[in-house]
Structure 1
Amino acid sequence: MAKGKRKNAITLVVLLLALGVLVCLYFWYDSYQKHKESAKPDTDQAVDLATVDTEQVDSLHYVRNDADLTFILKEGVWVDKDNTARPINQEHVTSMLNAVKTLKADRVIMESPDNLSDYGLEQPQAVLTVTMKDKSTVSVKLGNKVVDSSGYYGLVNEDSTVYLLQAALGNALQYSDLQMTALPEAPSITAENITHILVDNREGEDYELAYSDEEKLDNTGSNMYAWQFLKPYGEGYTADSTKVSDLQANYTGFDYINCVDYKGEDLDKYGLEEPAASILIGYFVSRTEALPTPETDPGTGKEITEKTYKDPYEYKIYIGNQDESGNYYVRIDGSDSVYTMSSDTVDKMCQIDSFSLLNRYILLPALDNVDQVTAQVEGTTYQMGISRKTSTDKDGKETTASAYTFNGKESEEDAFKKLYQQLIGITYDSQIPSDVTVGDETPYLTLTYHIFGDNERTVSASFLPYDDDFYIVKKNGDTRFFADKRAVQDIAKALSSFTGKKAE
């Protein structure tokens, strides 16, 4: 019995000793792990890697798969060391400098990895080496973009640690060789300040629109149709100002993509020796200046201390072939450099639906500017007259009274104006196809308006027989458009049945 108790006591002691050893081992291992963890770098903490005093930079060496360029500062401008004549995009160089001015990593990825290719750093996508005036250097190698992150893997200087570099640095090292060539500064053109649009196409129609506020062609008295359509229709046609205002916006953004050849020694290579098209834009820029001596406004009598001037400018480009991406090669007038411009931009400038812009009203003189209308229908002549008499009342206020006649007989005002509205309401229906031959037909109807005043002149249009649906419109000796036959015949009926009474 005593022997059994002794055996149990020994077992208990052994178990207690084993437990003590295990407890000691646990505390030792826990302390070891804590010491080991404290010896590791904090991989989630941002790391300051280098700073660059941009005022002390001597050169930048930039290498990509399609670029190997060294930039030096010459008279305050960054130039290509090996080709100083090449214009360099200053903003891109500045972007590189700003990206390394305070070089930081978002965190450490791996110290001395076995395989740099896992991070795209065996053959980096870009390398930037900044050499300071004291000959010290800062270099960055850019690897792959990190999945689910805005940063890039990278190496800095001779450090073998892979860092997660900030996105701004990676973005600043994405420029191709082409993109490092400076682009021209496009003019600042406001759509409503455009006064002239000329598109010359080597094949196809040319287009020319010119703004004029002299009312030489706009007979409405409201300057509603101040745009003259010089091409393809020739003098005598106006454009719808509302539709032209939409078109003007197409000529405000001359956005160049790349400079592909700043020397332009072989323009034929780009289709620019004999361009497919040229685009000329006339516009003005307003400036306001104080007058050295105040003047008096003759209209209001108020004192004027400043004046606004409209300085005229022109901008012209030539359009060549398209590259493999569909962009057009273009050249600016006066320069040999060749640039690319998107097909969307160029096509909107060159491809104009002229008929959609046309003022469809064949003749639209304001009644206030007209004193006589002559209509001839198959040999029968109708005369419409407006006489005006101005009187002044005792208060010095002038009033004008108008009298209306039809074929020499007095007409009621409302009836006269209703007929007049029908005459000027006739419109172009469609453009005559190029394969239609227009003969020397006798007009079915001819309308002639005499415009009086400072801009005195006569405007007229004739309607020639064509088929069951249309008459050919002849205006200023030109035949380009059809008019609806029913509308023309309705005018003839209205003239023949007119009695000058309001009931009509």
Structure 2
Amino acid sequence: MKKKMIFLSAVAAVLVILLMIQFAIQPIDNQKGTQAAAAETTVSTPAFSIDGNESDVKEIKIVNAAGMVELVHAKGTSGNESKDWVLGTKPDFPVDQELLNEIAVSAISTKFSLLDEHAANVQQFGLGPAHAEVIVSLKNGRDYTIKIGKPTPDQANYYAAIENEKGIYLMSSGNAAKLLVSSNDLFDKNLPEMNLKNLKSMEVLKSAQLFLDLKAKQNITSTPAALTGGQPLPTNHLVMKYPIPDRDVYLEDFAKRAFGLNAGAFNITSNTIKVISLVEEKQSDLGRYGLSVPALELNIQDDKNNYHLMFGDASGDIMYAKFADKNYIFSISRESVHPLLTFEPIQFIDRFLALINIIDCNQISIETSSAKFDVNMNHKQLPSASGQSTQGEIQSGTINGKMIELDQLKKLYQMIIGLSFDAFIEPVEKPGDPLTTIKYTTIKGEKTVTFYQYNDNFYVVKVDDGPAQYLINEQAVHEVITACKESM
């Protein structure tokens, strides 16, 4: 019995020792496995790099699935080499200069770490054939050819091979990605700056038909307040020529309504039109993209340049676009130009039929088919630097010869000049007989507003000898007539 107990104890001791050995060996095996897996991405020695700097390089050629890209030094203003790189064959589309410089640096300065000096099966690394080939030619006649394969499993590096060098190397994914570029990657998505504050003129066409025509004002001044103590109206930088001729345009309202810009923002391209990608470098068929007769066109003239931008068909969330004088076609975010596609010119113009400062006005005559009202205003005369008196604040007034309280006069005046149109239409050539006229006599001359019947609810109106094309609700005019009657 005693011998049996000794035997069992010995067996148990052996088992414990075996288990201890097993647990001791397992971490070592795990560590070896981890090190083997990590060998794919761990920087090791020896390393390889091109023996030269940017100034030693003559040209860089990159051949990949997207085609061939050739980079050479740009010429400076004095004819010497610039620090910038350019494409050997200049494309029609604008190129991202910063990206070109980064590509050159990646091709020249990348350090390659040796992964396997004796690898025989290059296909497993995506190098048979390679995904891309980079040829760096130095001015001393030496060439370096780098072949780029597939990414490592953890995506941190790419496998690479170097001509005349043994083994498989690793290069960082960031550098490799820059050498796998396509034309679309090189496309500069920043449009030329178009700032409404520098605008000289703008035409908007829809389906080749003029929709809006704006011109910059030569002399920009704030419109004085209509009444003493009031605030000046917004400065008008633009005037509309079509569809409503000679109407002031409020710049901030225009920027907001037509381009969706926030208050104080006037740069169209940096805040509105969002470029997505290059679609076609050389146009083949404009009709394919809806650009033979564009849905929308912007013809913009600023203080330096003229831009004619065309917008074609929409496809999902994008819209095709091009500059009229360029061959390339690109896509933009459809949502970014939604305000341009939907705005109405009436949203940002001066809609007053006759906005006249009370200080300048001496008389308003209102005549209907059954009544006439003459509103006269007496002004304080003020001396001027030239020795002649000038017209100042209103002191008193009459309506059909009857004195009227000053506050009541100002309120009536505000109602009359506050008449503004609700819509505009194509000019009516023969509007018929006038139903009501309002004539303003000012220190600068006369202005006459004439009202004609349009339908049961609206008058069609013309100002002076202009076209009869403004619609105003009859009720607004009737309220002015009623106020005149009640003031007598």
Instruction: Pick from 90, 101, 112 the counterpart of residue 94 of structure 1.
Output: 101
1:313 correspondence with 2:304: yes
The Cα offsets for residues 405-429 of structure 1, whole Å up to 9 and x where unpaired, read as 2223332210100111111222322
1:377 correspondence with 2:377: no
Q: Distance in 2 between matches of 1:497 and 1:40?
A: 100
Is the Cα contact below 8 Å between 2:127 and 2:149 reproduced in 1? yes
1:480 correspondence with 2:469: yes
Counterpart for residue 440 of structure 2: 449
Is the Cα contact below 8 Å between 2:428 and 2:467 reproduced in 1? no
Unpaired segments ≥5 residues, structure 1: 6-10, 284-311, 500-504
Counterpart for residue 399 of structure 2: 406
Is the Cα contact below 8 Å between 1:80 and 1:88 reproduced in 2? no
The aligned amino acid for 1:281 is I
Instruction: Pick from 274, 281, 303 the counterpart of residue 300 of structure 2.
Output: 281
Q: Distance in 1 between matches of 2:210 and 2:363?
A: 37
Instruction: Pick from 322, 330, 341 the counterpart of residue 322 of structure 2.
Output: 330
The aligned amino acid for 1:406 is I
Is the Cα contact below 8 Å between 1:54 and 1:101 reproduced in 2? yes
- Residues 404 and 88 (structure 1), Cα distance of their counterparts in 2 relative to 1, 3 Å cut: closer
Map 1:147-158 onto structure 2 (within 5 A).
149=155, 151-157=156-162, 158=165
Is the Cα contact below 8 Å between 1:125 and 1:144 reproduced in 2? no
The aligned amino acid for 1:207 is L
What is the DSSP-based 3-state SS (H/G/I as helix, E as strand, rest coil) of the residue aligned with 2:49? Answer: strand
1:136 correspondence with 2:171: no
Deviation of 1:398 after TM superposition, in Å, equals 9.8
The Cα offsets for residues 364-404 of structure 1, whole Å up to 9 and x where unpaired, read as 222122222111122522111223232569xx999945332
Q: Distance in 2 between matches of 1:322 and 1:399?
A: 58
Instruction: Pick from 214, 218, 228 the counterpart of residue 209 of structure 1.
Output: 214
Counterpart for residue 306 of structure 1: none
Q: Distance in 1 between matches of 2:452 and 2:293?
A: 41
Instruction: Pick from 244, 249, 258 the counterpart of residue 239 of structure 1.
Output: 249
What is the DSSP-based 3-state SS (H/G/I as helix, E as strand, rest coil) of the residue aligned with 1:367? Answer: coil
Determine what percentage of the aligned residue pairs are the same residue: 17
- Residues 40 and 483 (structure 1), Cα distance of their counterparts in 2 relative to 1, 3 Å cut: closer
1:68 correspondence with 2:68: yes
Is the Cα contact below 8 Å between 2:193 and 2:267 reproduced in 1? no
Counterpart for residue 330 of structure 2: 340
Q: Distance in 2 between matches of 1:477 and 1:142?
A: 73
Is the Cα contact below 8 Å between 2:208 and 2:293 reproduced in 1? no
- Residues 458 and 183 (structure 1), Cα distance of their counterparts in 2 relative to 1, 3 Å cut: farther
Structure 1 range deviating more: 372-381 or 461-470: 461-470
- Residues 123 and 440 (structure 1), Cα distance of their counterparts in 2 relative to 1, 3 Å cut: same
- Residues 481 and 136 (structure 1), Cα distance of their counterparts in 2 relative to 1, 3 Å cut: same
1:429 correspondence with 2:422: yes
Q: Distance in 1 between matches of 2:153 and 2:129?
A: 16
Q: How many residues align?
A: 447
Is the Cα contact below 8 Å between 1:251 and 1:349 reproduced in 2? no
Unpaired segments ≥5 residues, structure 2: 76-80, 227-231, 260-265
1:55 correspondence with 2:55: yes
The aligned amino acid for 1:497 is E
Counterpart for residue 413 of structure 2: 420
1:197 correspondence with 2:202: yes
The Cα offsets for residues 14-43 of structure 1, whole Å up to 9 and x where unpaired, read as x9xx99xx9xx99xx99x999x99x98973
Instruction: Pick from 451, 459, 462 the counterpart of residue 447 of structure 2.
Output: 459
- Residues 451 and 198 (structure 1), Cα distance of their counterparts in 2 relative to 1, 3 Å cut: farther
What is the DSSP-based 3-state SS (H/G/I as helix, E as strand, rest coil) of the residue aligned with 1:365? Answer: coil
What is the DSSP-based 3-state SS (H/G/I as helix, E as strand, rest coil) of the residue aligned with 1:258? Answer: strand
Q: Distance in 2 between matches of 1:258 and 1:391?
A: 66
Deviation of 1:342 after TM superposition, in Å, equals 1.4
- Residues 54 and 281 (structure 1), Cα distance of their counterparts in 2 relative to 1, 3 Å cut: same
Map 1:5-44 onto structure 2 (within 5 A).
43=39
Provide the alpha-carbon RMSD of the alignment.
5.1
Q: Distance in 2 between matches of 1:93 and 1:321?
A: 30
- Residues 102 and 352 (structure 1), Cα distance of their counterparts in 2 relative to 1, 3 Å cut: same
- The TM-score normalised by the length of structure 1 is 0.69
The aligned amino acid for 1:424 is I
Deviation of 1:206 after TM superposition, in Å, equals 2.0
Q: Distance in 1 between matches of 2:453 and 2:90?
A: 70
What is the DSSP-based 3-state SS (H/G/I as helix, E as strand, rest coil) of the residue aligned with 2:304? Answer: strand
Q: Distance in 2 between matches of 1:230 and 1:364?
A: 18
Q: Distance in 1 between matches of 2:442 and 2:285?
A: 56
The aligned amino acid for 2:448 is S
Is the Cα contact below 8 Å between 1:141 and 1:155 reproduced in 2? yes
The Cα offsets for residues 304-339 of structure 1, whole Å up to 9 and x where unpaired, read as xxxxxxxx334221426459785434225xx44434
